[in-house]
Structure 1
Amino acid sequence: MANSLALLATFALLFITAIQAADPELISDFAVPEGADEGKVDGVFFTYTGLRGGAPSSTTGLGRKSVSIKEFPALNGQGVSLELLEFAPGSVNVPHTHPRGGEVLFVVEGALTVGTVDGNGKLYKNVVQKGDVFVFPKGLPHYQANFDKNNKAVVVSAFGSSNAGNVALPKNLFGSNIPDEVLGKAFKISPDTIQQLRNAQN
């Protein structure tokens, strides 16, 4: 009996955790911002124009524009979001994860080398070209790289969450306050190497 109760409690905890990890379920057709009059909502509310003009370039060569609940309140409760990414020749989107949503990447222009790593450390990579789609399962580390030296690549990524999150592994590990001793033991690297990696995140 005690084993059955323990098993039931474990399943209940897993179920509650899974529910809390997903976007909240709507109890109406859509959610309007607090204080807004739902009767005055029109098509403008469901339209986002922030991707006009593309994604701004950056010092890393990776331009990005996110369309999440923060930028587009109409996504609240819809369980979807997207991002426009423009890769200059030779640029990389560093290894990262999205803890709250899977990602589907669609190549609009150019080609990218993409890859994701499963829980056993196996790398799944491919070169995707204009018109191709690649999926990155929720929570798994992945990257994208434009190894073309002459042409840019443009992609649109859709996420299975209105705020999928983005954990950039280099910054979240070496730009954090994780003790050097922990990082040294985890990666089997010297204190000097840890400091170089920390400095690179600034």
Structure 2
Amino acid sequence: MSPKMTVMLVIFFLYTTIHQLSPVFSSDPDPVQDYCLPSPHTKPCKNTSSITVDDFIYSGIKHPGKFTNKFSGVPVSASVFPALNTLGMSLVRADFEVGGINVPHYHPRATEVAYVLEGKVYSGFVDTSNKVYAKVIEKGEVMVFPRGVLHFQMNVGDSRATIIGSFDSQNPGSVKLPTALFGSGIDDELLEKAFGLKGKDIDKLKKRFRV
């Protein structure tokens, strides 16, 4: 084999390896059919003869969900909207009362695009060099949160705010930092040393964010 051919094969091998392993290039698996509505029987997908247009319509985000601490999040995944199965996407409706926040969190498996339906929202993310990108976005504006980065939102207007978030994954996952840190059972001593807090402060936070 000629040296030139050897170099070309090495480059091809490195490219295909990186393409398979790097999160920059990877995503949900590509669908191998138009759609696949889960079947309650042994086959993975419903027979097309039993599918109607109503299977591809979901009305569960017409209204806000239940509010907790001035925030409501209504996820739309394949578990509630089966037509999304295998399509590599999902949604969420987020509503904020005045002053309400979506606590700092990240999605390990998806990039999010957030579209403001109503209101004014202080919205941003922090990259891996700890640089923050944040700004008040208003009705009709869009912000993107790259996959796996910490991001947050807060209603800074004088009326309710609503956002629709779109994910490029069927199952983006969500790790909320307050709950992950203080509601997961991490040893108190570690938390005290990491945040410079006293034991009683850790106890208060654990009671607040316990799952």
Paired residues, number: 192
Tell me what 2:79 maps to. 70
- CA drift at 1:38: 2.4
1:33 aligns with 2:38: yes
2:19 and 2:178 map into 1 onto residues whose CA distance is: 30
Which residue does the alignment assign to 2:64? 55
Is 2:55 the partner of 1:45? yes
2:134 aligned with 1:129: no
Higher-Rg member (1/2) = 2
Structure 1 unaligned regions, length at least 5: 1-7
- CA RMSD, aligned part only? 2.3
Write out the 4+ residue segments of structure 1 that deviate beyond 4 Å after TM superposition: 11-14, 16-19
State the one-letter code of the partner of 2:99. G
> How many Å separate the matches in 1 of 2:29 and 2:202?
40
Q: Normalization by structure 1: what TM-score?
A: 0.86
1:157-180, CA deviations, whole angstroms, 9 ceiling, x for partnerless residues?
Answer: 111111111111100110011111
Distance 2:125 2:149 in 1: 7
Task: State the Cα deviation string for residues 88-114 of structure 1 (Å, max 9, x = none).
Answer: 111001000011101101111111001
Query: Does structure 1 residue 152 correspond to structure 2 residue 160?
Result: yes
**Unpaired stretches in structure 2, ≥5 consecutive residues:** 1-12
Structure 1 CA distance for aligned equivalents of residues 37 and 208 of structure 2: 42
Within the alignment, does 1:115 sit opposite 2:124 as a pair? yes
Kept in 2, the 8 Å contact 1:146–1:152? The answer is yes
Is residue 177 of structure 1 aligned with residue 182 of structure 2?
Answer: no
SS at match of 1:181: helix
Tell me what 1:192 maps to. Answer: 200
- Taking the aligned partners of 1:155 and 1:59, their CA distance within structure 2 comes to 16
DSSP 3-state at the match of 1:155: strand
Shift of 1:192: 2.3
For 1:71 and 1:118, locate their aligned partners in 2 and report how far apart those are by CA, in whole Å.
32
If the length of structure 2 is used for normalisation, what is the TM-score? 0.83
Indicate yes or no: 2:90 matched with 1:81. yes
Whichever residue aligns with residue 111 of structure 2, its letter is G
- Residue aligned with 1:173, SS: helix
Say if 1:32 and 1:38, in contact at 8 Å, map to a contact too.
no
